[in-house]
Structure 1
């Protein structure tokens, strides 16, 4: 099967490989800037489960010179590749049903809520069976054997990119990253790794040790990081300093934030109660709470019981899973509402590690850092760009103060500016962040 690529007569400036939506949050700004500068870009999804109706994908499809498709149905394919690609991109494992006809008439007899519940159960059962017996076996056992190095070479010859752009998590053993990165090496195409988050650690951390080892093994031509603190930690873990480029944060730079806030339609979360101080808790990635897990749950349950607090819990978007089981039914869970809208809704944001906390600072919302729930050294805390609390009593007192005093908080605009300069501009005040990313991809200028 031959899919359309960007700019049939002009090779794309870059081929972007995307895997999860949080990765897109940090890559889409760069693609957008390339398109604005008239460059052709090809974006391919390595994950058949990505929802094509997501706003990020729709935004890419509206950009002139940008083509988006699944990697499994693009380019010159053999019959077997085309068959497997067709199977992977079918919605067999995401079966959905619409109420209508006979189903609609049943509402008269059983009631809409019962029929809706039955349809949800049926859809979930069919989708689960499809994923278990079709999607997962094909992805795990068939795909690596069909989409190999020969396919990777043909894919790059079809697209002819000047650079292959991935995120930090790319590795040879993950999906089809390996064949495409090896093909790029053989053809002299640069492989650039861009950040898929904004690290908020102030210094050395064990959290990224495995990721650093994988990046070293991948041997990227350049690894882009938002700030020097992350670069220093990478060097301490044995990464080559010459390959690390400090360019700031594409996701949180002014240019993209202004665009993003126009794109994301306002949609407040569905809350269980109204009124009171609107408080958002943004959880960390994966289940890395360690010995703080019970303390986090007790803290959130206590806050949820406060009559003047309207608490919403946001799981980390990379997994979108609620790892704190005791919260179920007691705290409002926001698994479907975008972080931008959650911060818009909130009066205060609480969290420890998630890079989504930066959205609170960008929107000038009060950021509360519960230091008693984390043993890492955080950048916003070191720079004084948050309201640090040492225990549950101080946290409750801070919320009471906000309830009474509005936007009063103990950190200054100068502290926020210092955080912005270091973490978002990469240490260079008012840097053209996206322009720096584009220059690196195009091989222009000294970085």
Structure 2
């Protein structure tokens, strides 16, 4: 309903703080984060141990998958964190075949559907509890505040085109105090034509994908322009590379904030200045299992995940059981991108979406050999009609506007890497 309200009527939302927008769950989570931050190391361990043991027992008592597993394996109660080893390591395959078994029965439908991509090439559906959204923002905003950024100040956001009219560079989301900037419409001419609007918005920070923010920074640098009074940059959803960081720091300053997280809300690890990551032990916990991050989340009861395989390889400091410091993450969506007609780079993060049509596919893959044109190869056990293929194309077309033209075709096999891994994007354009 808010989408049909005239923009001028939404403007007062700029002045509504997150404490009101996100409600009680947000405020309670902020208090938990603040309480934990002032504890000594012994108290922090006690706090974490109690939180984890409670989470494990709640899973046994209220989550069908874990209740059945505990019963079949002869235990009914957990008394120490070390007993997490009694639980199985799970992966996306369990969610694909039995998602409803991971829902905490106390929620009674208070959740919504979302999705995540993965190395299987098939979209994974999951549930997010209504209050999880508010809790997540509490962690993000607490991180921002710790870097001297006021979460209630205005920002420029480069995270896709939702909220921006087709063909436009700029849109607004007043609830989140955002000026929305389309990564697909970024060019020297479009920025130059809209620079007054960008400056007059008086944003204090920038929020976006590293690929999009670095593109914006490069354009401003080439034009000899700056957005004044930017106090920090929050980079999300993609790996931040050294050259991107140097460019962003040159144009927007050195206060770069980032974290490792995931759609499943199983882990939250904040990036330190040296590029390492600190796992937030009030959000969840992480194990290093044969070099892979295996995580247990505390904040999303709609999809209760214990010992969940993330598919991301890590290098971590030695630990007895739980990882608290990660030296490096590997295996995430990296520099795979499609090239739009304007030359912009469109990453998988910008294309990730949820739909029934994609649920019914075995896998899909984007293959590009010509700028602006992409073959969208889909694999399905059922023969797809031309209208079904057109519908699948339109899902992604709506994400990128006229930057790309998708040609959807059904194939028998999807290309894999030499190691047998699925990649979403195969870019054959010679640079």
TM-score (norm 1): 0.28
Q: Which structure: greater strand fraction?
A: 2
- Bigger-Rg structure (1/2): 1
The structure with the largest helix share of the pair is 1
